[in-house]
Amino acid sequence: MATISLEGVCKRFGSVEVIRDLNLEINSGEFVVFLGPSGSGKSTLLRMIAGLESIDSGMLVIDGIRAEGLAPGSRNLAMVFQNYALYPHMTVEENMAFGLRNVGLAQDKIKARVAEAARMLEMDKLLARRPAELSGGQRQRVAIGRAIVKEPKAFLFDEPLSNLDAALRVRTRVELAELHQRLGSTMIYVTHDQTEAMTLADRIVILNDCRIEQVGTPMEVYSRPASRFVASFIGSPAMNLLPVTLTGQGDRAAARLGNGAVVPLPFAPKGDGPWELGIRPEALTVSQVGTTKATATVVERLGDRTLVYARLSDGTQIIAQDSGKSQVKAGDGIGLAFDTAELHLFDGQGRAVSV
């Protein structure tokens, strides 16, 4: 297990800045997920930690040792790639043992490490097969096993599930969570899939526009987004963001929607507009006695709940939630009730003023 620290780290490709003055502390044994849209710098940041990309300025410290100048093989990290990177002419056992043979580890120790990794990943009966004889999920487990046998200080995963089908992704995600619990190792995982981030991470690092937007536990970034970007990026469907004007002051502050409806705020806003009110669909429910009226445009029935896409009288689009047995149909007039304890407000710079 290792602590990993990044201090003032920057990276450019020519004139393009991809990481800007980044600071981050990763604790020993922690499962940290780098989450962000394409081009946000998450894979580049992972490769900089691994030593596959250079660090232009700043410091990387692994277990108290300056590491930005070390060769990748000297950092004692194991990386699992998106494309598995298995040798097709080698068996599962040979693929998993290859790196250990290269560093001259004794044969009995190699056998023991491969056997333990295979047992852990339930690959015992597949050791004699070659990659072409394996499913996508099995190949990914071989790649993970190859990392495990190195007994590294930390594991680095670069979108390892993106080549798997939906059902296999779910199953492998559970296996990764169980693996982390068994090993207790430091793990850094890159993904653009927020479901993977929310279900796997101890903490999520949300990257956007070359920098960190927010670092927190899954429920912290979901319940208390620090910026408009985080609010819109985390959650499916995304948080409703409604242009509003503010009325009143202090504990009498309220937000006026575009259709004239007024929603009381549970906090005293500070800063400058223009303002946007944020509320997640589950905190905005269909109700006969609601704060405002709307017209349902699309109804999605998901079994345990129903999502109602609606339009306010000023044309503002909004998503609300109803019960799984909802009778709402497209074209119906509905009332909407706001859970004011779950409101968020974002200022003109996109910063949350209600965190």
Domains of the chain: 4-229 (3.40.50.300), 239-346 (2.40.50.140)
pLDDT in tens, the chain (355 residues): 789 999 999 999 999 999 999 999 999 999 999 999 988 999 999 999 999 999 999 999 999 999 999 999 899 999 998 887 899 999 999 999 998 988 888 999 999 999 999 988 888 899 999 999 998 888 888 998 999 999 899 999 998 888 778 888 888 888 889 889 988 999 999 999 999 999 999 999 999 988 999 999 999 999 999 999 999 999 989 999 999 999 988 778 899 999 999 999 988 888 888 999 999 999 999 998 888 999 999 999 999 999 999 999 999 999 999 999 999 999 999 999 999 999 999 999 999 987 5
What pLDDT score does 321 carry?
96
DSSP string, 147-187: HHTT--SEEEEESTTTTS-HHHHHHHHHHHHHHHHHH--EE
pLDDT reported for residue 88: 92
The Cα–Cα gap between 337 and 61 comes to 50
3-state helix, strand, coil split of the chain in percent (to 5) is: 30, 35, 40
Q: What pLDDT was estimated at residue 355?
A: 52
pLDDT for residue 66: 96
Give the whole-angstrom CA distance, residue 114 versus residue 105: 12
Residue in this structure with the two tokens 């040792």, named with its chain if needed = 65
* Distances in whole angstroms, Cα of residue 13 to Cα of each of 3, 10, 17, 60, 334: 28, 11, 6, 19, 52
Specify whether the CB–CB gap between 86 and 143 falls below 8 A: yes
Q: Mapping DSSP to helix (H, G, I), strand (E, B) and coil, where does residue 233 land?
A: helix
Which amino acid, one-letter code, is at 275?
A: W
d(Cα 80, Cα 317) in Å, to the nearest integer?
42
